[in-house]
Amino acid sequence: MQKKSGSETGGQGYVIGRVEPPDTGVNTWMTYRSIYTSNGVSHNIQRLVAQPKLSNSPLANTGSRIITYGVNWAAGTENLIVSTAESLAGNIPGASLVLSVYDAIRSFISGLSTTTEVSAPNITYTWSNVTTATFIYVRLDTESDDAQQLSSISTKTVTAVGYDIPKFNYKAVNGSWVLFPDIIQGKRTIYATPSRYANIADAVDAYNGLYPCPVQNEVYNIKISGPESKNVEVMWPCNPNSPLDCEW
């Protein structure tokens, strides 16, 4: 478990001794050591990385929701999944995903176009979100582990969103409505990684007082919406302040 010396250093967080990974069993913890030199000064870096191994970990999040629709759409005009993710710095570019109804179903139905009228009374969305948390501890290479300071906390997430359309109708070329004879299931994966995730240079700069310490680059929320811009879910991944926050 982590040890704290208890003394605080000039508003720059707590001085933390040599850090050992927690071991409550819900996460896999990995630790790495490296040396980073900045302006001719060598810093000793310890990275502590947590990934969930059980679904009851605060770093894992699952759920599902059935959305009901009452109107027909043109296949190309509505989106089956739209996702965005935000960090405290704003939108995370790589996490934006748009999947149109047409793109999701065109491989199943031949002759479909973006203007084909379609209807899906119910769509079930199921999601599984996994957060990786990285804590970076910094000290001068000449110091002992007792001088280590938590200088960076960052998270990234992988979210798989599954969709399940048990009943799907479309208007054939002759104008008659056709029930697609099977269930349509699929999934998309959303990767949300803040641009400064686990950045050692930032951690060292924070340690040296250039940023508030610890510097934080965490995924704040992930939004998923479906056709007609109906909200499916807003996920709030774990935003830990210490390794123990990842454990319960």
The DSSP bridge partners found for residue 14 are 8
Compute CA distances 121 → 142, 176, 182, 241, whole Å: 66, 18, 14, 43
Query: Is 230 among the residues that bind other proteins (CB under 8 A)?
Result: no
The least distance separating other proteins from the CB of residue 199, rounded to whole angstroms, comes to: 18
- Give the DSSP letter string of 173-205: TTS-EEE-SS-EEEEEEEEE--TTTT-HHHHHH
Comparison of 126 and 242: residue with beta carbon closer to other proteins:
126
Query: Is 31 among the residues that bind other proteins (CB under 8 A)?
Result: no
The least distance separating other proteins from the CB of residue 14, rounded to whole angstroms, comes to: 29
Comparison of 126 and 221: residue with beta carbon closer to other proteins:
126
The least distance separating other proteins from the CB of residue 60, rounded to whole angstroms, comes to: 7
Comparison of 16 and 104: residue with beta carbon closer to other proteins:
104
Under rule CB under 8 A, how many of the chain's residues touch other proteins?
A: 33
Query: Is 128 among the residues that bind other proteins (CB under 8 A)?
Result: yes
Name the nearest CA neighbour of 49 among 32, 33, 35, 30. Answer: 30
β pairing state of 215-217 and 149-165: parallel
Among 72, 119, 124, 208, binds other proteins (CB under 8 A): 124
Which of positions 136-195 make contact with other proteins (CB under 8 A)?
158, 160, 162, 164, 166-167, 178-179, 181-187, 189
The least distance separating other proteins from the CB of residue 49, rounded to whole angstroms, comes to: 9
Sort 131 into a burial class: Cβ within 10 Å, 0-12 / 13-18 / 19+. buried
Query: Is 108 among the residues that bind other proteins (CB under 8 A)?
Result: yes
233: helix, coil or strand?
strand
The DSSP bridge partners found for residue 26 are none
Yes or no: say if 159 and 190 are a contact pair by the CB < 8 Å rule. yes
Report residue 78 as tokens: 């509505």
Which of positions 37-56 make contact with other proteins (CB under 8 A)?
51-53, 55
**CB-side exposure of 194: number of CA atoms within 13 Å?**
27
171: helix, coil or strand?
strand
The least distance separating other proteins from the CB of residue 106, rounded to whole angstroms, comes to: 11
- Residues at the interface with other proteins (CB under 8 A): 51-53, 55, 60, 62-64, 66, 107-108, 122, 124, 126-128, 130, 158, 160, 162, 164, 166-167, 178-179, 181-187, 189
